[in-house]
Amino acid sequence: MASSLKSYLSLIKFSHTIFAMPFALIGFSLGVLYENKPFEGRILIAVVLCMVFARSAAMAFNRYIDERFDKLNPRTAVREIPAGVIQKNNALFFVVVMCGLFILTTFFINRICFYLSPVALFVILFYSYTKRFTALCHLVLGVGLALAPLGAFLAVTGYFTWLPILFSALVLCWVSGFDILYALQDEDFDKAHQLHSIPSLLGRRNALHVSTLLHLIAGLLVIGIGVLASSGWIYWIGALAFIGLLIYQHTLVKPHDISKVNIAFATTNGIASMVYAVFVILSLWV
């Protein structure tokens, strides 16, 4: 039982929840602290559960869809489905269960979250197909994770405003940028198997330029959010840390050396999201 749980946690890369979860907590905090809505523990729990269910469904579906390519790629052949640790049909069943739990959880939040839940699932599941026909797949992934702050805000308030939308735009640019860095590892494989990505389309050097541009926009959005929300010094500490880590990850990955891409992708961005969220929430509290 424990080994099976460990296998499924590995299948969905549960540790990578750290990318979007902090922004969901930002969205929740914006609703409570910026919009002055009452704090409800059940809503916070529901938001966290929705994040876990939606992301688990998306990751497992991606592994299910990509099983044929994962078997051929030496980097991914050890993943649970191609390695035979988890059966493909069992992974699909897991996806269906996670989707059902996600929709059920939104039902207990509010109407708008429930009505929009199929749209959210479509976006995050559709991403798995995009590498087959467009190099803009990184942006689709960014859109999927960008739903986190906006969805959490809707869970608290039931309406849209400009601030959570700006946070979602920030997530879109940030995630798309670091996903391009991650995709550098498979540039040659993608070309050989007619899969689409920015690195396979533009080459390593130009892909790094696109990633840098997206992270530049993300940095400008961090600054813009602080200015438009009239944030205090606590916010700006978090903003400086986030932007600094964006810059740092680009010093780790070079056109002639991508050996540190996993540090740039996972470690640096995981720290960036957590640190930024802590200071954003503290600034709203204070």
Mean pLDDT, residues 276-284 taken together: 97
pLDDT confidence tier of residue 2, bands split at 50, 70 and 90: low
Structure tokens at 41: 């523990």
Residue type, 88: K
Q: Kindly report the length of the chain.
A: 286
What total number of domains does the chain contain? 1
What was the pLDDT predicted at 275? 97
Structure tokens at 23: 């922004």
**pTM score of the predicted model:** 0.95
Residues sharing a CB contact under 8 Å with residue 251, sequence separation 6 or more, in sequence order: none
Residues sharing a CB contact under 8 Å with residue 215, sequence separation 6 or more, in sequence order: 173, 174, 177, 178, 246, 250
CA distance 2 to 6: 6
Under 8 Å between Cβ of 54 and 144 = no
pLDDT confidence tier of residue 286, bands split at 50, 70 and 90: confident
What are the tens digits of pLDDT across the range 182-219?
Answer: 999 999 999 999 999 999 999 999 999 999 999 999 99
Structure tokens at 178: 């670091």
Which domain CATH number covers 176? 1.10.357.140
What are the tens digits of pLDDT across the range 56-105?
Answer: 999 999 999 999 999 999 999 999 999 999 999 999 999 999 999 999 99
What is the domain extent for residue 11? 2-285
Structure tokens at 7: 């296998």
What was the pLDDT predicted at 5? 73
What is the DSSP-derived secondary structure letter of residue 20?
T
Residue type, 281: I
Q: Which H or E run includes 128?
A: helix 111-130
